[in-house]
Chains A and B, each alone.
Chain A
Amino acid sequence: MDLLHVELILIEDNPFEAELTIRSLKKHNLANKLVHLDDGEEALEFLFSKGKYADNIGKLNPKVILLDLKLPKVSGLEILKALKADEHTKNIPVVVLTSSKEESDVFESYNLGVNSYIVKPVNFESFSKAVAEIGLYWMLMNEPPVI
């Protein structure tokens, strides 16, 4: 896929969760320009054009990043921190999509500048609905800044 057209980046280590998320997005035609990354370190390399993603440079302009907090190697909060600290990436909307209701996680995320914090419902129907709404809102309704 042409990276310039990537609109949604999903960073989620659990393949089944990822599949269910993508499925819900697909139902609403929101998953066409989606990239799924399942490792914190790899996600950082991808987002900041390092390592095998060195070619990415200057090509990324997603409408939203869906970020899980519990990731192998590099945690979601670290990624969030890196994104919001960098001039080039700080304006990309980041939505934390996690199982954690832990107040410290919520607080820390907002502190780092997260754009939205969503706790995944256990109930599949609610979950599908939530994912679809997130997709619709950030991809269609929200007007992102031009980077």
Chain B
Amino acid sequence: MDRNFPHRLWSKGFVLFVVAVAFFSLIGWSFDIEIFKRILPNSVAMNPMSAICFILSAISFLLLTSKKRRRIELVAGKILAIIVLLVGTQVFLGYVFGYKSNIDKLFFSAKLQNEMGGHLSNMMAPNTAFCFILTSIGLLLLNFETRKKTMPTQFLALILALGALLAELGYLYGLGVLYTLPTFIPMAFHTAFNFFLMSLALLFVHPQKGLMATLTTPNTGGVVFRTFIIPSVVFPMLLGYVYEYAMTNALVSHSLANIFLVYSIIIGFIFINYFLAQVLNYKEALRKKVEENLAESNKKFKNFFDFAPFPMWVYDIETLRFLEVNSTAITKYGYTLEEFKSMGIGDIRPEEDVPKLLRSVKERNEGNETNDSNWRHRLKDGKIIDVLITTQLFVNEGRDACLVIAKDITERLKAEEQIKTLNKDLEAFTFSVAHDLRAPLRIIDGYSGVLREDYSAALDGEGNRLLNIISTNAQQMGQLIDDLLNLSRVGRASLNCTHVDMLYLAGKCVEEQLVFDAERKVTINMSNLEPAYCDGVLMKSVFNNLISNAIKYSHRKEAPIIEIGSYQKDGELVYFVKDNGVGFDMKHADKLFGVFQRLHKVTDFKGTGVGLAIVQRIISKHGGRVWVNAVKEEGATFYFSLPYNNHN
């Protein structure tokens, strides 16, 4: 329910009161109850036709303000208002042109003949007729609002209220002329009162519109008006009454009474003026304070904006023009604030980027979220910089606008590019070094071989042993270089992902690795492996490494068992290779995946210590993790995970 609810309810209350007064008046006419007919003894009664008109007006009002706004209600309401208008006009024109309409004697005509001892035939007074005309027009225009937002009904109601007030003042001071025009009968006391209520009802129908808006507002003006309206009416009334009383009873001289009257009015006005001054001063001081606070807070936030470490601006979504630009942007880009404001966001870009920009803006406006993005901007001196743009849409002064933070990433991109080149160079260097090292190794091993073949007899046992050591180490180094080359190849390789049947892949690896299980004593248990979206070639290398490790480290057990399986957990696919081999102490686990890191002596288990590093590199390339769980002498379980995504 909106806040004008109580006022609307007042309207209904006023109208119901009008109906009640009119109804009692008709009862009075029917059963000759004088008090109902005329409230004040020896004054005029309410004409029965007036009472009926009041009831018709009230019903019309209730119909026209019905919340359901049904068409039939509106039409009926207007018809009733038109009937009242016709009656009022008929009577009023009768007075103007001097004929007797007699429409006001339609009911209770016999009783009306006897009214006031026959001196004054009780007709509807001309001012009453005029007031009904005002009321009915007011009803017909009830919801009409002009283009200038004024409501004609309210003006009519105001005239009605002032007219009714004038009539009531007449009764207050017992002065005939005010409630009757010379030679005509006066308006009845409760008729005037009814018109007053009627005018209030018409005024309070739209308390937030037209004239009423000024009075009902919660602003100071409304508060002051509401405070003073009753005293403003009652105080002069009382003064007038005292004056009248003093004059009538000749208590003081005419001049003295006048002096007191004027004196009181002056005091009253001064009091009101003083009070108004106080209110206005207080309000203005308050407003100034608020304005100061606001200015200060504005300045503070403007500073936050201006001195933000990144260039920032706001642009209009539709025109793409700059609305606000911070100092950092002005310093960075070299344009003045005025230059910025005369440009659009397309003007600070290389021309070839503009179509892409327009596309991007269009997409964003169509609701496709755009995140941080890289763009190129042109500074005033023509220099092009790379920027990371972060944006936020908001409503600025009633229009859609976009706040932009631009972060210069030119240097960063350059550095990234350099790192990429350096990495590439380094890998090329590693590769070529490793590659070139193989030739001399082959020669060392080759000539050792030749020596062994051709001169074995010339060497004694120790000589042959030393020769073997040279040969073995050359081969060992050859293996190391091969592994290193593999590792570097994995590092350089780009992922070529497909849907891989991991069970099939692991099965192939097991087959290949079991060649090394000469005694055929290893049991391999393979449960159902989840398929994955990954690089099959690299994944095969992972399984090969893990399975060959498992065979290698469990082979000395009586009954080696290797278990290969997988499960899903927390959005990841986890695969594991478990053995019951020699295991290791978990405190060394962190060293396990480094290059050349070994937990066992070469004499115990052969190997270069690169295999797990390769596994680690492949899995992290896939966005997964590698970890291990082991107990010394009881076995080890190697796990790796792959992110579970749409492809999987």
**Contact of A99 with B443 in the complex, beta carbons under 8 Å:** no
Mind listing 9 A-B residue pairs with CB under 8 Å?
A: A17-B442, A99-B442, A101-B485, A102-B431, A120-B438, A122-B474, A122-B481, A124-B446, A124-B449
**Contact of B447 with A122 in the complex, beta carbons under 8 Å:** no
Is the CB of A20 closer than 8 A to any CB of chain B? yes
The CB with the most chain B CB atoms within 10 A, among A99, A124, A125, is that of A124
Q: Identify which of residues 272-311 in chain B touch chain A, using a CB-to-CB cut-off of 8 Å.
A: none
Is the CB of A14 closer than 8 A to any CB of chain B? yes
Q: Closest Cβ of chain B: how far from A105's Cβ, in Å?
A: 10
Interface string of A12-24 (1 = CB under 8 A from B): 0010110010010
Cβ of A127: which chain B residues have Cβ within 8 Å of it?
442, 445-446
Interface residues on A, range: 10 to 19
Is the CB of B413 closer than 8 A to any CB of chain A? no
Cα(A122)–Cα(B442), bound, Å: 5
Cα(A127)–Cα(B479), bound, Å: 14
Cβ of A102: which chain B residues have Cβ within 8 Å of it?
431, 435
Is the CB of A128 closer than 8 A to any CB of chain B? yes
Which one of A16, A20, A122, A125 contacts B478 once the chains associate, using CB atoms below 8 Å? Answer: A122
Cβ of A128: which chain B residues have Cβ within 8 Å of it?
449
CB nearest to A101 among chain B residues: B485
Interface SS majority for chain B: helix
Q: Identify which of residues 100-146 in chain A touch chain B, using a CB-to-CB cut-off of 8 Å.
A: 100-102, 120-125, 127-128
Is the CB of B471 closer than 8 A to any CB of chain A? yes
Q: Across chains A and B, which 6 residue pairs bring their CB atoms closest together, nearest first? A: A122-B478, A124-B449, A20-B446, A124-B445, A16-B443, A124-B446
Cα(A128)–Cα(B448), bound, Å: 13
Interface string of B331-361 (1 = CB under 8 A from A): 0000000000000000000000000000000
**Contact of B449 with A125 in the complex, beta carbons under 8 Å:** yes
Is the CB of B475 closer than 8 A to any CB of chain A? yes
Cβ of B482: which chain A residues have Cβ within 8 Å of it?
122
Is the CB of B239 closer than 8 A to any CB of chain A? no
Query: Other than the known A122-B479, A124-B450, what 7 A-B pairs have Cβ atoms closer than 8 Å?
Result: A17-B442, A17-B443, A122-B442, A124-B445, A124-B446, A124-B471, A128-B449
Interface residues on B, range: 20 to 34
Is the CB of B441 closer than 8 A to any CB of chain A? yes
**Contact of B485 with A124 in the complex, beta carbons under 8 Å:** no
Cα(A123)–Cα(B472), bound, Å: 9
Cα(A20)–Cα(B447), bound, Å: 8
**Contact of A100 with B435 in the complex, beta carbons under 8 Å:** yes
Which one of A14, A121, A125 contacts B443 once the chains associate, using CB atoms below 8 Å? Answer: A14
Is the CB of B599 closer than 8 A to any CB of chain A? no
Which one of B436, B439, B450, B479 contacts A17 once the chains associate, using CB atoms below 8 Å? Answer: B439
Cβ of A124: which chain B residues have Cβ within 8 Å of it?
442, 445-446, 448-450, 471
Cβ of B479: which chain A residues have Cβ within 8 Å of it?
122
Which one of A23, A100, A101, A121 contacts B450 once the chains associate, using CB atoms below 8 Å? Answer: A23
Cβ of A121: which chain B residues have Cβ within 8 Å of it?
442
The CB with the most chain A CB atoms within 10 A, among B435, B442, B478, is that of B442
Cα(A128)–Cα(B624), bound, Å: 43
Cα(A13)–Cα(B309), bound, Å: 62
The CB with the most chain A CB atoms within 10 A, among B445, B447, B448, B479, is that of B445
Cα(A99)–Cα(B471), bound, Å: 18
Which one of A23, A101, A120 contacts B442 once the chains associate, using CB atoms below 8 Å? Answer: A120
Cβ of B478: which chain A residues have Cβ within 8 Å of it?
122-123
**Contact of B449 with A14 in the complex, beta carbons under 8 Å:** no
Q: Closest Cβ of chain A: how far from B432's Cβ, in Å?
A: 9
Cβ of B447: which chain A residues have Cβ within 8 Å of it?
16, 20
Which one of B436, B443, B474, B481 contacts A20 once the chains associate, using CB atoms below 8 Å? Answer: B443
Cα(A101)–Cα(B431), bound, Å: 10
Q: Identify which of residues 75-109 in chain A touch chain B, using a CB-to-CB cut-off of 8 Å.
A: 99-102
Cα(A125)–Cα(B442), bound, Å: 10
The CB with the most chain B CB atoms within 10 A, among A99, A102, A120, A121, is that of A99
Known contacts A122-B478, A123-B478: does B450 contact A20 (CB below 8 Å)?
yes
**Contact of A123 with B445 in the complex, beta carbons under 8 Å:** yes
Cα(A52)–Cα(B347), bound, Å: 69
Cβ of A17: which chain B residues have Cβ within 8 Å of it?
439, 442-443, 446
Cβ of A125: which chain B residues have Cβ within 8 Å of it?
449
Interface string of B444-483 (1 = CB under 8 A from A): 0111111000000000000000000001001100110110
Cα(A100)–Cα(B431), bound, Å: 10
Which one of B431, B436, B475 contacts A122 once the chains associate, using CB atoms below 8 Å? Answer: B475
Known contacts A122-B475, A123-B475, A123-B478: does B435 contact A99 (CB below 8 Å)?
yes
Cβ of A99: which chain B residues have Cβ within 8 Å of it?
435-436, 438-439, 442
Q: Identify which of residues 12-48 in chain A touch chain B, using a CB-to-CB cut-off of 8 Å.
A: 14, 16-17, 20, 23
Cβ of B471: which chain A residues have Cβ within 8 Å of it?
124
Q: Closest Cβ of chain A: how far from B36's Cβ, in Å?
A: 116
CB nearest to B481 among chain A residues: A122
Q: Closest Cβ of chain B: how far from A136's Cβ, in Å?
A: 19
Cα(A100)–Cα(B436), bound, Å: 9
Cα(A120)–Cα(B438), bound, Å: 9
Cβ of A120: which chain B residues have Cβ within 8 Å of it?
438, 442
CB nearest to B478 among chain A residues: A122
Cα(A128)–Cα(B452), bound, Å: 14
Cα(A17)–Cα(B450), bound, Å: 12
Cβ of A100: which chain B residues have Cβ within 8 Å of it?
435
Cβ of B485: which chain A residues have Cβ within 8 Å of it?
101
Cβ of A16: which chain B residues have Cβ within 8 Å of it?
443, 446-447
